[in-house]
Structure 1
Amino acid sequence: MLGAGIGAIGLAALAGTALYAQVSGDRGIAPVASTTDIVANNIHVDVHAKSAEEARQDGWREAQRLAWEKLGGPKLPDSRIESMVSAVVIEHEQLGPRRYIATLDIIFDRSRAGALLGGEGKRARSAPMLTLPVLIDGGTATMFETRNPWQRVWANFQSGASSIDYVRPSGAGGESLLLTYGQVSRRSRLWWNNILAEFGAADVVTPIARLRHEWPGGPIIGTFTARHGPDNQVLGEFTLRAANDSELDAMLEDAVRRFDEIFQRGLADGKLRPDPTLESERVQISPEIMRLIEASRQAEAAEQAARTAQAEAENPANIQASTAPAQTEQVAVANVTVQFATPNAAAVDTALTSVRSSPGVRGASTSSIAIGGTSVMRVSYAGNISALAAALRARGWNVTESNNALSISR
């Protein structure tokens, strides 16, 4: 008996260690703070000068001029262009005694440069879109389980000037368990609503990068697919090529910009809209349907009035009783915490459906989900906790009652 108890303690400790290992370590990459500044990416310069410092200064000055030309700005002196630059991001640089080679991103302040570039006007923004970057490399699909270059370029993407409101998780802590490649293929609106509510998003976009290595150290072919919504609808697809591993990051950065163009085009075409089956209370009914509903209600009310008048004419003695005001009993609504076992994803949907359909239940939503463990839901019930326990027992649940909380199981 003692050996069995020690064994159970050992298994519990091992399970706890395994769960901690799944969320510990350097998994998350925090996204950069997005600004509305104007960015010109991948400006390459190769400059010779009398010294390394002078070559660097000349290289930055040339990069700012090339960036301004790339954005389509009017011809201006270098000093004027430099006054509008808010930051220079170094992607790659090599310094020699008299030479400077670099790839730079030049960021212009929108308040100073926007009018000259025609970008001072406001643009419509999309609803908040949860962004789930999927990398498929070597037959393995990952999202936030481990740090990867695809996650990194999305975290570093400056999305402030885009018309898409990207919601970018960091992947730290429990996010690496919740946001996996398996989530992309889920269709349950309950699951998606819980996840979107967790991150304050209205819908989801899934940029997928599939990499194929020709040979170790050789060319890399990237196939990129832009998907949207809980039904994983395809918005666009393209292919890029990197000569070797050293050019992979540049290819992925180019892919992110192309994805942003696809998503912005989808927004302009009306394709990138929140799915109406997500958070159904947000759905707006068209005026034509509203008129039909109102006409139906009026016809039903007229028919009911005619039946009432006919009944009163046939039996006048019941008029006084039927016209007496009804006494409405006010029932207090209690918020109860309910714990339930969830060995798999289907158990979550099953438990919620059963509880929501119980008499007296006004609403139920999950506050914590643990697949393979015990999840928690909050239930609004018109009555006290004992009445809720009785209602759940009537639906076949084994119920354990404690202080303002219930534990249910089959």
Structure 2
Amino acid sequence: MLFRRSAAIIAAAFLVLAGLGGAVIAQMESGERGILPIDSSGTLEITGIQVDVGGKDADSARYAGWRIAQREGFKALWAKTNKRPASEAPNLSDSTLDGLVSSIVVEREQIGPNRYIATLGLLFDRARAGELLGFAGQIRRSAPMLLIPVLVSGGTATSVELRNPWQRAWAQFRTSQSPIDYVRVSGLGVDPLLVNAAQTRRPGRGWWRNILDLYGAANILVAEVRLDRLYPGGPSKALFVGRFGPDGETIGSFELTAKDGNDLPRMMSEGVQRMDDLFAQALAAGIVRGDPDLIIQLPPPPVEEEEEAPTAPVIQPTVVQVLVTERGDAGAVAQSVAQIRGLAGVIWVTQAALPNGGANLSVNFRGDASALGSLLTSRGWAVTNRGGVLYVTRGAAPGIAPVPPPGQSQ
């Protein structure tokens, strides 16, 4: 009798543990995944602008601090862009700066009765500020690179399986000023199954080809950080390592420290900036590049064996310039670029933003510009071929506004 009662108690305990485990897993799946990357295609960012200014009241001091931050922020961005001292930057009027600054990001601020102390970040409109900064808004970029952020903490490696400060820092990173064309995953949907920490240790090319083809990338970049905390919420030290390709070739590494848990986001943000610099230097050195072995190639057309018929030539890929001239929001442009990447015969696509909206694409296609234009036309695009450059618009000819659906006003 005693044995049966003990067995019943043990069985009940297992059922309770199983129920708790299921609840924990359900909570993790419902609320602990998915950080969407911000859209940064139309802005230029500068951070860490420190101001300390007084005024007759709190509002006046804050307004004066933001004015100073705009002036200092433009000079710092000009110096960063042109690799020259900030003292050589042009002095712009406050009214001109008001038209260039799209938003001000408050990183830290202290507001007193007549004093304002803050650390601010500024976002400049890329199309308006580009010429004043010394470029026309376009930048030479790499082939699309699938970015996998990996955080190793407490002996456990995670990527997008759970929300973590390293993934969040990459999601908040503004990529418009980087020469690397990052393909960032959000952690939603099938991302945790395909792009996870374990996948970065698998050198097999076959599975990597399927993943890169799904995300439209030409190679892999792994941004790994090993975080060591002295105690929960206390000081921490992190080792950042940049890797490239399925074999995990090490590009470089560096160390950063955080004084406490509140300083951890700042350390991660700085780590992203320095990691991007590592990848950019590797791109300039020819290390970071697309790998044809990782791109699924379409099989050549079958050649009929006939004695009199000549052998059909193999179509060599060519690079065709495609200008997506629609002026929708960044999401619509990104959807258009994704559709072009998914066309049959397209090997890879590199993208650069246009000053007035749209995208300037270099499409590696198995065929010539006429063949690509015919393929786009068959998919419902309006195509204009001007000297081998394709001007394309979805659903309407370039320069003609699409007809709204019935029931909607013009």
Give TM-score scaled by structure 2 length: 0.61
Q: 1:173 to 1:212 in 2, by over 3 A?
A: same
Shift of 1:121: 6.0
Aligned match of 1:60 in 61, 66, 70?
Answer: 66
Report the identity percentage.
46
**Cα displacement string for residues 28-66 of structure 1 (whole angstroms, at most 9, x for unaligned residues):** 011101224221112222332222221221121111112
> Counterpart in 2 of 1:28?
34
C-alpha distance in structure 2 between counterparts of 1:16 and 1:32, whole Å: 32
Shift of 1:87: 1.6
> Counterpart in 1 of 2:374?
none
Q: 1:144 to 1:50 in 2, by over 3 A?
A: same
C-alpha distance in structure 1 between counterparts of 2:225 and 2:183, whole Å: 19
C-alpha distance in structure 1 between counterparts of 2:307 and 2:205, whole Å: 46
Aligned match of 1:268 in 277, 280, 284?
Answer: 284
The answer to whether the aligner puts 1:224 opposite 2:240 as a matched pair is yes
Secondary structure of residue in 2 paired with 1:241: strand
Secondary structure of residue in 2 paired with 1:24: helix
Secondary structure of residue in 2 paired with 1:108: strand
C-alpha distance in structure 1 between counterparts of 2:214 and 2:296, whole Å: 17
Secondary structure of residue in 2 paired with 1:234: strand
Shift of 1:110: 2.4
C-alpha distance in structure 2 between counterparts of 1:146 and 1:16, whole Å: 16
Alignment length, in residue pairs?
276
Aligned match of 2:263 in 235, 238, 247?
Answer: 247
> Counterpart in 2 of 1:204?
220
The answer to whether the aligner puts 1:160 opposite 2:172 as a matched pair is no
- Structure 2 matches for 1:11-410, cutoff 5 A? 23-71=29-77, 72=79, 73-120=89-136, 122-279=138-295, 281=297
1:222–1:241 CA contact under 8 A, matched in 2? yes
> Counterpart in 2 of 1:372?
none
> Counterpart in 2 of 1:329?
none
C-alpha distance in structure 2 between counterparts of 1:197 and 1:18, whole Å: 34
Secondary structure of residue in 1 paired with 2:224: strand
Q: 1:214 to 1:116 in 2, by over 3 A?
A: same
The one-letter code of the counterpart of 2:222 is T
1:218–1:244 CA contact under 8 A, matched in 2? yes
Q: 1:252 to 1:114 in 2, by over 3 A?
A: same
Q: Name the one with the larger helix percent.
A: 1
Q: 1:47 to 1:138 in 2, by over 3 A?
A: farther
Q: 1:195 to 1:22 in 2, by over 3 A?
A: farther
**Cα displacement string for residues 101-141 of structure 1 (whole angstroms, at most 9, x for unaligned residues):** 32221111222222222122632211111111111122221
C-alpha distance in structure 1 between counterparts of 2:28 and 2:261, whole Å: 28
Give TM-score scaled by structure 1 length: 0.61
1:22–1:177 CA contact under 8 A, matched in 2? no
Q: 1:282 to 1:233 in 2, by over 3 A?
A: farther
Alignment RMSD: 2.9
Q: 1:275 to 1:47 in 2, by over 3 A?
A: same
C-alpha distance in structure 2 between counterparts of 1:22 and 1:152, whole Å: 17
Higher relative contact order (CA 8 A, sep 6+): 2
